[in-house]
Amino acid sequence: MACVLEAPLRMSVLSEVTASSRHYVDRLFDLDPQKVLQGVIDMKNAVIGNNKQKANLIVLGAVPRLLYLLQQETSSTELRTECAVVLGSLAMGTENNVKSLLDCHIIPALLQGLLSPDLKFIEACLRCLRTIFISPVTPEDLLYTGPDHQTILFNHGAVQNIAHLLVSTSYKVRMQALKCFSVLAFENPQVSMTLVNVSVDGELLPQIFVKMLQRDKPIEMQLTSAKCLTSMCRAGAIRTDDSCIVLKTLPCLVRMCSKERLLEERVEGAETLAYLIETDVELQRIASITDHLIVMLADYFKYPSSVSAITDIKRLDHDLKHAHELRQAAFKLYASLGANDEDIRKKIIETENMMDRIVNGLSESSIKVRLAAVRCLHSLSRSVQQLRTSFQDHAVWKPLMKVLQNAPNEILVVASSTLCNLLLEFSPSKEPILESGAIELLCSLTQSENLALRVNGIWALMNMAFQAEQKIKSDILRGLSTEQLFQLLSDSDVNVLMKTLGLLRNLLSTRPHIDHIMSTHGKQIMQAVTLILEGEHNIEVKEQTLCILANIADGTTAKELIMTNDDILQKIKYYMSHSNAKLQLAAMFCISNLIWNEEEGSQERQDKLRDMGIVDILHKLSQSSDPNLCDKAKTALQQYLA
Yes or no: say if 81 and 39 are a contact pair by the CB < 8 Å rule: no
Yes or no: say if 166 and 205 are a contact pair by the CB < 8 Å rule: yes
- Give the CA dihedral 560, 566, 572, 576, nearest 10 degrees: 120
User: How large is the average pLDDT for residues 471-489?
Assistant: 91
Distances in Å between the alpha carbon of 480 and those of 324, 419, 446, 504?
40, 18, 8, 12
Burial of 408 (0-12, 13-18, 19+ CB in 10 A): exposed
Angle at 132 between CA 126 and CA 138, to 5 degrees: 135
pLDDT bracket for residue 144 (50, 70, 90): low
User: How large is the average pLDDT for residues 205-223?
Assistant: 96
Whether omega before 512 lies within 30 degrees of 0, making that bond cis, reads no
C-alpha closest to that of 159 among 196, 121, 113, 120: 196
State percent of the chain over pLDDT 70: 95
d(CA 452, CA 455): 5
Which string of b and e fits 10-42 if b means at least 16 CB within 10 Å? Answer: eeebeeeeeeebeebbebbeeeeeeebbebbee
- Give the CA dihedral 585, 589, 594, 597, nearest 10 degrees: 110
pLDDT bracket for residue 387 (50, 70, 90): confident
Helix (H, G, I), strand (E, B) or coil at 46: helix
Which string of b and e fits 207-234 if b means at least 16 CB within 10 Å? Answer: ebbbebbeeebebebbbbbbbbbbbbbb
Indicate if the pLDDT at residue 458 is higher than 90.
Answer: yes
d(CA 24, CA 626): 93
pLDDT bracket for residue 339 (50, 70, 90): very high
User: How large is the average pLDDT for residues 245-260?
Assistant: 96
Q: What is the pTM of this model?
A: 0.79
d(CA 573, CA 475): 34
- For residues 521 and 304, the model is more confident at 521
- Residue range 21-61, pLDDT digits in tens: 888 899 999 999 999 999 999 999 999 989 889 998 999 99
Given CA atoms 50, 56, 59, 64 in this order, what sign does their dihedral have?
Answer: negative
Query: Average pLDDT, whole number, for the chain?
Result: 90
Distances in Å between the alpha carbon of 429 and those of 121, 382, 386, 398, 489?
67, 14, 11, 9, 29
